[in-house]
Amino acid sequence: MGEDWSRWLDEAPEEGATQGRQALKKAPVVRLRRGKRGDGDEDAGPTQRPILVVGGCGGAGTTTTALGIAGELGSGGTPTVAVDATAAGSDLALRGADEHLHPISLQSWLYGRGDDEPAPLKECLSRATSGIGLLWRDAAPLRRRATYLTVARAVEDAGFTAVYDGGNPIAGRQLRPLLDDADVALVLAIPARPDAANRLRVALEWLDDEFGDSAEGQGTGIVGDATIVISHQQPGGDSRVADHLRENLSGWVRDIREIPYDPHLARGELVRHSALAAETRRAYERLLSGVAS
């Protein structure tokens, strides 16, 4: 591939430099296969897609990103459920259920009626004041060969749009059915740090190797349908990481978006969608408008 893409920030300018993007030594674009996206999309069914949020590295902010996207959907009137799709359970509901934390887990809901029939979803959801429901999971495996495809079908049958918090790593076995489903929109979240951007390349190449199709040619495929989200977890608003990703990945991924630093999210406590800064809400709205269509 020529020059090592992972070293692209070695020559990054000092903060405040006026020619930041021009001063960076241009690195080769990751060689990814892309298929054709958008053919016949207008007649492909509902425009609102389920969304999977996965971290391109650890500490990527997948939970807050999933809650932000789900909160915007719920505030707009879409029946939405944020689903914990991590391998052993995350704090999705603990951080997002600011109205009611229900003791029923995802597994309990999924087998609530017996004979592999889920219980009524509305009766099993934790709740947020934004209008969304939440499903938390415990560390127990799903039973009887069930996967998150089983979960996805049951959520859809119940009339909800799902936003999955897949956590990290992206190669987790439980995520494969969702990654393999072309109807699920993929969001790759990273913090606004150079090391996280460097590790993003590994995630993109893995996605292309595992789920790409050499017959697709240059178009989209799973990588071309992925949206990259750069989460600012420190004050200051330095966008050099996002700028460089736009310079080198535009045309290869669906979109690249930034979520600004928000003191409410930085507290690491209960997330109330109404307490987010107006700029943060607008960023989630713009992200959603591109991801969910």
pLDDT in tens, 45-62: 345 899 999 998 888 999
DSSP label at residue 30: P
Q: Exposed, middle or buried, 293 (CB in 10 Å: 0-12/13-18/19+)?
A: exposed
pLDDT at 54: 97
Instruction: State how far the Cα of 118 lies from the Cα of 103, in Å rounded to an integer.
Output: 16
Q: Using CA atoms in the order 55, 56, 57, 58, what is the torsion angle rounded to 10 degrees?
A: -10
User: What percent of the chain is modeled with pLDDT above 70?
Assistant: 80
Most confident of 3-7, 219-223, 274-278: 274-278
pLDDT at 292: 65
pLDDT at 111: 86
Residue of higher predicted confidence among 217 and 213: 213
- Are the C-beta atoms of 260 and 283 separated by less than 8 Å? yes
Residue of higher predicted confidence among 81 and 238: 81
Task: Give the predicted TM-score (pTM) of the model.
Answer: 0.84
pLDDT band at 221 (very low <50, low <70, confident <90, very high): confident
Count of positions (residues) in the chain: 293
pLDDT at 115: 66
Instruction: State how far the Cα of 66 lies from the Cα of 146, in Å rounded to an integer.
Output: 23
Average pLDDT value for residue range 98-106: 96
Q: Catalogue the long-range contacts made by 247-251 (C-beta closer than 8 Å, 24 or more residues apart).
A: 247/21, 247/24, 247/26, 248/5, 248/8, 248/26, 248/27, 248/29, 248/30, 249/29, 249/30
pLDDT in tens, 197-208: 989 988 999 999
Residue of higher predicted confidence among 15 and 194: 194
pLDDT at 175: 96
